[in-house]
Every structure is written in structure tokens, then in C-alpha cells.
Amino acid sequence: IGCEDGSVKLFQVVPGGIQFEKNLDRQKGRVLCLSWHPSGTHIAAGSIDFLRVLDVRSGRTVQRIMVNYHVPKPKKRECVVWSVAFLSSGTVVSSDSFGRVQFWDWERGTLLESHTVSTSAVLSLAVSEKEDSIVVGTSAGATYQFQLLPVKTGSQDKHWVRTKPFQHHTHDVRAVAHSPTALISGGLDAQLVIRPLMEKVQRKGYEAALRKFTFPHRRLVSCARKARLLLFQFSQHLELWRLGSTNETGKDGEVLPVCRMPEHLLQLKSKGPEHIYCSCVSPCGSWIAYCTASRFHLYRVQHEGDSVSIKKVPSVPKLLLPAYQLQCASDSGRLFVASDRGSVHVLQLLEPGGCKHLHTLRPPAGTAEAVYLLASSADGNWLAAVSGDWEIHVYNLKHFKHHCTVPTYSCAVTALAIHPATNNLVIAYSDQQLFEFSIPEKQYTAWSRTVQNCGLHKAWLERDSPITHITFNPKNPSHILLHDIYMFCVLDKSLPLPDDSAPLMNQSVLKQLPETARQRQLHAFKICKKFQPLLFADLLDESCLVMVERPLMDITAQLPPPVQQKKFGT
């Protein structure tokens, strides 16, 4: 750990945490970045105007390199070493506030190569596993790839060459990572960008797509259907809103006037610096729960006419924290808490304002991974839990016993839900595949087997945004409602699956066809892209659907101004 006072502290990783071992050599100047040599014998530390190499065993500084020594004294200004990487060859790579990426021989302290990539700072760098490629990120929002290439064909002499520039960010690129097939960058503009290296991708498809992620793939909105309330989760507070309503009816596409405006009922601030991990509001709207890294909070909400009051439940059970998802049962009588090591805590919510720990559900074989997704059945009999090892365990809530495990698939689960009428579990995976599993029969349904035999549409599988929520229409049991950031879809199981020759989005075409032609071209997928970016969608009742958008301009407006760049001719 590098410290502001110039010291480097060494800790040993022990079961359950870390343990202080010793202080390495302390020198003047803040330590801004660190990198281990792959052998573990030395550490490179970047500071202001210099970087140094420390011997781990002796704790002494064995090399001190001035990164600014060749700049004439009258022009000298402070040079901040923002990032370092220690290669197994003994080369130390540094990036600094002068916009340079430099390569140093640490034993001699000499400069091997220097590349000026930007007029602004180079803030981050990462090295590939084979150490033949480097990605760097700048404060101008650009990322660059460097590759170690031979000077000429067949030559053993190699140099670092800047090969690929990318401009996917508008602000500082604070973090970069290098996977075997892609360059990954995270910016101050709240974008996570995965840029595939086309020479490393075997075939065109999901892996070859440029992917940008703005919102986390977890639920930030929860809905109290019966009370028609929405709970919005921010990093340090929660907001409870009552939905507006209208008495009018109209045609498809019309915007109806509201007789009651949406109402902000309360704001609940989290104490301390910890961010809120997860939250939920009960279907009846009378309970709000949220969890941070170290604390679980439960509140009783009182509704008296149009006014709302809130009271904290004083003595909540001590749980294994943090929780990764909270979910209330459909009758608002129980709260399920997804936790570490595959455990799910079941709490009973008591009137007028209390709770009791009923049971902790755990998989029979155990797991080191946390549970990150939950789905409970409408009848209160079943609970499905997904852990980080991608296993889905189904529990019987009547007897608090493990019922079955869904066959493990090769991708992560992004959303799941239990059908209120059939108790079939519908699962969406990160590769866009959909499965339906019968909980009572402990096997995939006939429809699910048909989907796997026939395959889903090519355009569906090539989407780059995962399904984040699934729900159902009680009025029509064959309908599955699901959405990602960019689209809302009604999947009708009673209709045939489309083949690749048919357009996946055919709603506008169908409207123009006569009835007989329309029936021939109908297929299972009905997709709407009107609402973007779509954070949340859920069915309030048989005739009412709620959508929550989060316009990107709202986020951009809160960001500091980007680095101003001089444009030619302006």
C-alpha cells in the first residue's frame, strides 16, 4: 500500500483479512501508484517527478529514477507519475501528467523509449498477460494501444509501437484493463467500454461487438405494485415516489393528461460514507429496506391520507453482510436477504413495526460465492437464488428445504422470475439465451426445449445489452415481459419463434398489412424501443405498465467540463 507520506507498507493476506508485516523505505513525496514485479521480489512506486524501485526483502530503495531530468530547467514543472507497470523483463513502464508513456531499464535507471501520446495527462495503463500489448487512458477521454513489434520482419529486435487510438470517452479515463480479446476502459463520464481486438476474435458475434455500459446490471428501482409506489436507489440516499394517474383513455401512441401528478413522498439518507448496495420496497408500500457494506436498515412506512411518515425498526437481526439483493414476498410478510457464501436470510416482517429471523437457506454442497439474484413465487412456496458460481438453487419456503438445482449453464444469469400461475422459472443469461424450468417437475419445459432446438433469432443473440428484469402478465399466462437498457419486449409463447430470414422487429410492418397476411407473419417477439435508456419496467396491474427512463443528458449535465482541446480553424 502506497501512502501520502511517501511510505510503502507491506501487508500479508491471511484468512479473513490482511495483517501488517513491515514498512518499506520511506522517501519524500506522495506515492501515487504501485506495481509488483511478477516474481514478487521488487515493487515499482510512482511519485511526483520520480519513480523508485524497492527490494521487498530488505525494504530498501534500490533505484531512483528522475522522470523529468531531460527537460530544461527554465521549462521544468511538476511531473506526476500517475501509473506504473513492472514487466518480467525488468522494464518499468510509466505514464505521467506530461502525456508521456515511458519505458525504463530499472537496473541501470536509463530511459529505453518515450512516447508522447497526448497534450494532457496519461492517467492509467494496463499490460496484457503475455506482456506484448499495453493499453493507456488519458484525461482527454482517449485510449491508446501499444504493441511490442519487431523492427522488421524476422528481426529479434523489438520496439514498442503505438498502434491503435480510440476515442470512446468524453472525460478522464481513470481505469483500464487488458483482457486476451479486448481493451476495457472506465471513464469519469460514467461509461464502461469494452473494445474488442478484432485480430483476437475468432468470429463475428457477441465478442466482436463494441459494448458501452452506463448503468449497473442490477436493480436500482423497486416497485410497490399494490400501493403504486416506486423506490429509487442512489449511491447515498433513497427516494420514494407515488405514481401519477389519469382518468382518460386514448388510442395507441397518445399521451394522456394526468389528473394526479407524480408525488415525491420522502427522501431517506444513508448515514456515513458507505454506498447503498441494494434496497427494496414491499408490494404494500409499508416497508423499506436497504443495505450498505456493513449495516442492514429496515423502516416502517405509515400512510395517513396523502401524508407519509417513516419509523426505523430499532432491533433488526444481525446478518452476514453485505447483502447483494433484497426482495419482499408478494404478500409483504417476508423479506429475503441475499448474502455471502450462498446464503439467503428469511426475515418475517411483523406489525406494527418489527422483524424476526426465521431461517437461513444454504445450498447443500456449499459455495464460496455470494448470492446476487433472487426470485420468489407469488404463492409464497418457492425461492430461486443465483450465486456467483452461476448455480441456481430453488428452495421450498414451506419447509425451508433445498428443492433442486437448475442444470448449470456456461454463462452468468442476468435476470430470472417465477411465473405466478405455473411456477415455471424463466431465466435470461448473459449470452441472450432464454430458458424455462418447471420447479414442480424439476426439469426444463417443452417450450424451453423447443427454443434450444430451434434457436433464437440472430438479431436477438447479437444484442449487446443483457436482460435485467423479467415479469409476467396474469391476464395472459403465455406472455413473458422482459427488458434491457434499450428495448422492452413481450414474448408470446403461443406464437412460433421467428427464423433468421424474418425481421425480428416487425410491429410497424404488421400494422400496415391486412388481417390474413398479418396472421401469417406473426411471431413470438413484440419489441418496443420507444423508451431509452430503460432502467426499469414492471406491470402494476392487468392494464397498467410502469417504465422508468434515465436520460443520459441528466448524467452528463452533472459532470465537470472535459479537457478543452484546440480544434483546427477555431
For the whole model, what pTM was predicted? Answer: 0.85
What pLDDT sits at residue 455?
Answer: 92
Residue 509's pLDDT band (cuts 50, 70, 90): confident
Residue 568's pLDDT band (cuts 50, 70, 90): low
Q: 142: helix, coil or strand?
A: coil
For residues 545 and 489, is the Cβ–Cβ distance under 8 A? no
DSSP 80: B
C-alpha cell read off for 11 = 501487508
What pLDDT sits at residue 131?
Answer: 95
- Got the DSSP string for 435-454? EEEETTTTEE-HHHHHHHHH
Please compute the mean of the pLDDT values over residues 174-195 and round it to a whole number: 92
DSSP 331: T
Query: Comparing 293 with 155, which gets the higher pLDDT?
Result: 293
Residue 24's pLDDT band (cuts 50, 70, 90): very high
What pLDDT sits at residue 72?
Answer: 59
Asked if residue 253 has pLDDT above 80, the reply is no
Q: What is the dihedral of CA 164, 170, 176, 177, to 10 degrees?
A: -70
Residue 18's pLDDT band (cuts 50, 70, 90): very high
pLDDT per residue as tens digits for the range 63-117: 999 998 666 555 568 899 999 999 999 999 999 999 999 999 999 999 999 999 9
Within 8 A by CB and 6+ apart from 69, the residues are: none
Query: Comparing 197 with 230, which gets the higher pLDDT?
Result: 230
What pLDDT sits at residue 560?
Answer: 83
Of 54-63, 195-204, 328-337, 459-468, where does mean pLDDT reach its minimum? 195-204
Query: Comparing 455 with 164, which gets the higher pLDDT?
Result: 455
Please compute the mean of the pLDDT values over residues 338-347 and round it to a whole number: 93
Q: How far apart are CA 261 and CA 245, in angstroms?
A: 7
Residue 304's pLDDT band (cuts 50, 70, 90): confident
Asked if residue 570 has pLDDT above 60, the reply is no
Residue 31's pLDDT band (cuts 50, 70, 90): very high
Say which amino acid occupies 29: G
For the chain, domains (ranges, CATH) are: 7-178 (2.130.10.10), 407-564 (no CATH)
pLDDT per residue as tens digits for the range 254-274: 888 888 899 999 999 998 889
Residue 202's pLDDT band (cuts 50, 70, 90): low
What pLDDT sits at residue 532?
Answer: 83
Q: Which helix (H) or strand (E) segment is 196 a member of?
A: strand 192-196
Asked if residue 543 has pLDDT above 90, the reply is no
Residue 522's pLDDT band (cuts 50, 70, 90): confident
pLDDT per residue as tens digits for the range 347-393: 999 988 889 999 999 999 888 899 999 999 999 999 999 999 999 99
Residue 242's pLDDT band (cuts 50, 70, 90): very high
Q: 292: helix, coil or strand?
A: coil
DSSP 121: -
Nearest alpha-carbon partner for 287 in 332, 236, 325, 226: 332
What pLDDT sits at residue 383?
Answer: 97
pLDDT per residue as tens digits for the range 396-450: 999 999 999 999 999 999 999 999 999 999 999 999 999 999 999 999 999 999 9
Nearest alpha-carbon partner for 195 in 148, 142, 119, 149: 142
Residue 241's pLDDT band (cuts 50, 70, 90): very high
Asked if residue 204 has pLDDT above 90, the reply is no
C-alpha cell read off for 66 = 528522475
For residues 415 and 470, is the Cβ–Cβ distance under 8 A? yes
DSSP 516: H
Asked if residue 546 has pLDDT above 80, the reply is yes
Which ranges of 236-330 does DSSP label H, i.e. alpha helix? none
